[in-house]
């Protein structure tokens, strides 16, 4: 691309309102096309993953294989504050930093504030040296401002997936302001596999795609103490009866309750009901029983992960704990509705996803977007028409499978 083309691209992008002209123009006019650094040679790497708990679990295989490909590098990952606890026990990174965007609704005002926060480089003043390599291991539009870290991180080499960037312009193309290496996305794959695709493009290797969770001895001891106090040798299951913050991911909670009641009667299970600190309302929906322990907002994340690894079964919605349970190897049933199963289904050895997969779903429509942002029906029929009996049947099949396997007690 010649000088005039670079200037035209800079002006056009700024006119669209996505970038500040001085940063965009300087980057395109004076940056030389550098060869991609080999992972085996870089000294410092910044991984930007400003996503939720489930997304961080899906990135666990990427972090392990990145460390395997770059054993000499100092790897820093920047996450949302909610992800710090989970990543603090990750053996594959050297430092975990948090970045919180502005407390504003999604929209142009938030995007502009977010851009200013990152480009002013205040977050990066804590680092003594710039990063050699910046990795953006996610797909879809960048609503969290991760791309701007490429400029602010000290002009390190920036690598991302080909369709990664801020929202597309009117031509359907993604802006890629600071990316120097765009790894092609040629097929629809699981989200965990998209991230791994970055490594071979930079001279790395992928030898294992299995997800993992990270806990410490203290986390496991706390889990054992909690289980001993509340279940004392009884077979127990864990349930997270929500779909996170979106109503389009919420299976009616009374059906979760019905599933728990039936499996208690048929399989003798006790239940641990979990949720986040903002989900304490869950406790009011469950029946009072000595075999039900309601603990929304009461368990640290890594203690919960250790408890999940010891549970007989997990039942949940389209949310982070479902991915934690799957990665822990716990037999688990997840209820999905408006989310792409191809890309975001929990991945693990004992996973059953129950979904109606209606014609309007992202996979059936062939769009494979992360999830529906709105519903064409008055209520999300993909969830409201799903009977509790299907979840019970899937759970009982998993319990029988796990009982016959030597991999689990």
Domains of the chain and CATH, by start = 34-201 (3.40.50.2000), 217-404 (3.40.50.2000)
pLDDT at 121: 58
Give CA–CA dist 31/139, Å, rounded: 25
Using only the alpha carbons of the chain, give its radius of gyration: 23
Q: Is pLDDT of 61 > 70?
A: yes
Q: pLDDT band for position 178 (50/70/90)?
A: low
Return all residues near 326 (Cβ < 8 A) that are at least 6 apart: 57, 211, 332, 334, 346, 347, 348, 350, 351
Q: H or E element: which one contains 60?
A: helix 60-69
Give the pLDDT mean for 363-374: 81
Q: Is pLDDT of 171 > 50?
A: no
Residue with tokens 């000290």: 154
Q: Is pLDDT of 12 > 50?
A: no
DSSP single-letter state for residue 175: B
pLDDT at 169: 46
Give CA–CA dist 191/62, Å, rounded: 11
Q: What backbone phi and psi angles, to 5 degrees, belong to 131?
A: -90, 140
Give CA–CA dist 268/100, Å, rounded: 44
Q: pLDDT band for position 17 (50/70/90)?
A: very low
Mean pLDDT of the residues in the chain: 83
Q: Is pLDDT of 124 > 90?
A: no
pLDDT at 280: 83
Q: Is pLDDT of 30 > 50?
A: no
Give the pLDDT mean for 74-84: 93
In percent, the amount of the chain with pLDDT more than 70 equals: 78
Closest CA to 351 of 287, 404, 299, 394: 394
Give CA–CA dist 182/42, Å, rounded: 18
Q: Is pLDDT of 385 > 60?
A: yes
Q: Is pLDDT of 68 > 90?
A: yes
Give the pLDDT mean for 364-376: 81
Return all residues near 210 (Cβ < 8 A) that are at least 6 apart: 61
Contact between 284 and 211 (Cβ < 8 Å)? no
Give the pLDDT mean for 40-69: 94
């Amino acid at each position: 691309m010649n000088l005039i083309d670079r200037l035209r691209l800079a002006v056009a992008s700024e006119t669209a309102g996505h970038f500040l002209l001085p940063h965009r123009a300087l980057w395109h006019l004076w940056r030389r096309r550098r060869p991609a650094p080999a992972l085996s040679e870089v000294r410092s790497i910044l991984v930007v993953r400003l996503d939720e708990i489930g997304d961080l679990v899906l990135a666990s295989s990427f972090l392990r294989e990145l460390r395997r490909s770059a054993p000499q590098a100092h790897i820093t990952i920047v996450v949302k504050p909610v992800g710090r606890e989970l990543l603090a026990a990750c053996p594959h990174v050297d430092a975990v930093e948090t970045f919180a965007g502005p407390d504003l609704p999604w929209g142009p005002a938030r995007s502009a504030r977010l851009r200013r926060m990152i480009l002013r480089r205040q977050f990066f003043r804590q680092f003594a040296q710039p990063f050699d390599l910046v990795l953006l291991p996610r797909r879809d539009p960048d609503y969290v401002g991760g791309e701007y870290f490429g400029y602010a991180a000290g002009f390190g080499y920036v690598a991302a997936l080909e369709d990664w960037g801020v929202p597309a312009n009117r031509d359907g193309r993604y802006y890629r302001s600071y990316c120097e290496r765009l790894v092609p996305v040629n097929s629809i794959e699981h989200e965990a596999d998209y991230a791994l695709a970055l490594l071979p493009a930079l001279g790395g290797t992928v030898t294992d795609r299995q997800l993992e969770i990270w806990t410490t001895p203290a986390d496991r001891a706390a889990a054992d103490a909690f289980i001993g106090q509340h279940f004392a040798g009884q077979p127990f299951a864990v349930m997270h009866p929500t779909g996170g913050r979106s109503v389009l991911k919420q299976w009616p909670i009374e059906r979760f309750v019905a599933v728990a009641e039936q499996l208690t009667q048929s399989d003798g299970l006790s239940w641990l009901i979990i949720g986040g600190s903002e989900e304490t309302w869950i406790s009011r929906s469950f029946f009072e029983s000595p075999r039900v322990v309601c603990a929304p907002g009461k368990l640290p994340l890594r203690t919960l992960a250790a408890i999940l690894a010891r549970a007989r079964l997990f039942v949940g919605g389209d949310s982070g704990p479902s991915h934690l349970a799957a990665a822990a190897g716990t037999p688990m049933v997840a209820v999905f509705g408006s989310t792409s199963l191809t890309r975001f289904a929990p991945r693990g050895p004992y996973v059953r996803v129950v979904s109606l997969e209606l014609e309007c779903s992202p996979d059936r429509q062939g769009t494979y977007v992360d999830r529906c942002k709105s519903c064409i029906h008055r209520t999300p029929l993909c969830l409201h028409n799903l009977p509790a009996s299907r979840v019970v049947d899937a759970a009982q099949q998993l319990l029988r499978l796990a009982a016959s396997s030597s991999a689990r007690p």
